[in-house]
Every structure is written in structure tokens, then in C-alpha cells.
Amino acid sequence: MINIQDIKRIPIAELRNKYPFVDGFLSDQSLEIDTNEQLSFSDFIRKFDDDEAEDRAIDFDTMENSLVEYINQMLLFLGDDTDSGVDSLTILPGTNKFGEKENFEALTIKKSEIVCIVGPTGSGKSRLLGDIEWVAQKDTPTSRSILINGEVSDKKWRLSSGNKLVAQLSQNMNFVMDLTVYEFLELHAQSRLVENIEDVIQRIIASANNLAGEKFELSTPITSLSGGQSRALMIADTAILSKSPIVLIDEIENAGIDRKKALELLVGEEKIVLMATHDPILALMGDRRIVIKNGGIHKVLNTTDKERELLTELNEMDKVVQNLRHRIRNGEVITSVI
């Protein structure tokens, strides 16, 4: 965020470089900077004599305050990168749908940690996500409290469209925009004020193709992507471009992508990953799992060493299934599972 003193001292060139959307404000006010970029905004507008200022209906103090408000509102909308970020998320217990206290004391999840959410359909997994998104303070049906970095959080997580706490990747990723993959990524990067747009786009497409079962090009229309390709693109985009520190993935097992690589990508970008799943392999890949029952958190289980040993066996079994799927897609007649 900036203040009036910044407007008085920072050269316009520096403001435009740091906040490219300032050009929109200058254009709306019909202010042509030309060779005055090294002046501060305050010094620039005060170059107008009284007659010109009157003709333009310029009040110097009002104009300065308007620019400050414009920049700060845009930063709130787009998300301000100056914050220290989210290092941990803590869930404090509330009650289940019967009013019974949830069966845990506190659950703290740190960056680069994977926590799985398991439970029957309709058990309350979405309500848990809703509490996290809202940064609940005993003001939701579950009476849970959510702490960010161990403290009651800033209200920006509730009010700012740019500072979204949670990026949610749902089961269905259907695009309706008439854009190519490149145009979609470029638009998102521009909205985030990314400087090295081309490099970021190349990182995302490479990561997406590393996840997808079938590779695709930047020139591919996003409406023609398969379900797996769409999910791969959005996971890569979320990992690399999204400012949301927490990612919730809903049933990634149905996405047609490399599940292990997807999780490694998100964790490598220092996201907190919450994953709702019915897949035993994914459930055991997490560091912990939250068991939801009757609308509340019933258990919090740490993945045991024995479970990790079983995961190795499950992965071998999964390779057999994936190989069979590949052979069937290629039109083979199956006479054995190997």
C-alpha cells in the first residue's frame, strides 16, 4: 500500500514501472506526462498555473488523494505482494452437526505440507473449506476458528478479491472463453502484473505437459482441451501464478493426470495443500489426513511408517492399472494384466 508521501516523492516513471495500471488513471484524467516522468506526481500537477488548473478543474490535494486511493484499491483487487505471506494455517475446533465438540485440540498446517480430507459424501468436507476461505472466527455453523500464522487473521482475506486465501480446483474444469492457452495464460499473468510474462508462460506450459497424459500446445484453444489437460493447465497455473497460499484439490484421482507430479509441483511452490480424496494412494501420500464425520472433524491421523510401506505396494499395483488403461486406449486385446 502507498500513502500521500509516496506520491510526493516517488518519480512518475517509478510509479508506472511498479504499478502499470497508473497509466489508466493518467489517461482518465487527460494528463500527458511526456518528458516529466522524473518528477513526482505532486510536482507534475503543480506545474499547471492557476488558469490551467481551473480549466482542468484540478484541485491539487484532491488529485493526489485520488491517485493514492486508486493505486491502493487496485492493489487490493489484484493482491498485494508486499505481505510476508502465509506460513501456517491453524484450525481450532468447533462442533459437528449434533453440537458435539470436534475431536481434536488444534490442527496447524505449514507450507509445503499435504493434508488429505477424507469422509463420506456429504459429511462436511465443503464446510471445512468454507470455514478456511472465510477465515472463520466462531461465526459459521461449525463455530470453528481459523488462525493465519498463529494469529487472528487480517480481514483482507475476506474482503479482497485479489488476496484469496484458497485456490480451489474442482472436479470439472470446463472453459468457455474463446482463447488459446497462450492468450489465457498471458491474460492471467498481465492481471498479476508479472514482469517476465514469457518466462512464466513457458514454465506453466512445461509443467502442465509434465502432468497431462496427452501434451498440448500454447496455440491450442482452451475450449478444446480434454478434462485431464484442463486440470493439468489449472494446477500448473495455480502453482506458479496464483497468489493464494492454500490450494484445495477435489478428487484429483479423476483428473487423468500424474497425481504424484501434481502434488510435487504444488508443494515445490510452497503451497499449503488440502486434498479431498477417496483414493487410498493419494490419502496415504499426504502427511496427515482429516477424517470428517457428521459435519465435524472426527479424527486427525498422521501417516504411519507402515502406511508408507503399503503405499509402495499400492503404487506398484497402480502402475499395472495405468498400463492396462494405456493398452486399452491403444486398441490392444488384453490377454494378461502385465
Look at 62-66, 88-92, 100-104, 293-297 and tell me which has the smallest mean pLDDT: 62-66
- pLDDT bucket at 23, cuts 50 / 70 / 90: confident
What's the chain's average pLDDT? 86
Q: Is 273 in contact with 114 (CB distance < 8 Å)? A: yes
The single-letter code of the amino acid at 68 is V
Q: Spell out the SS3 assignment of 86-110.
A: CCEEEEECCECCCCCECCCCCEEEE
CA distance 137 to 122: 23
Residues 25-54 have a mean pLDDT of 88
Residues 67-94 have a mean pLDDT of 77
Span 122-158, pLDDT tens digits: 898 888 988 988 889 999 999 999 999 998 876 666 6
Quick check: 332 pLDDT over 50? yes
C-alpha cell at 79: 493482491
CATH of the domain spanning 88-303 = 3.40.50.300
49 versus 82: which is more confidently predicted? 49
CA distance 48 to 221: 50
Strands 88-92, 151-152: pairing kind: unpaired
Q: Is-above-0.75 flag for pTM?
A: no
Output the pLDDT for position 155: 65
φ, ψ of residue 12 to 5 degrees: the values are -60, -40
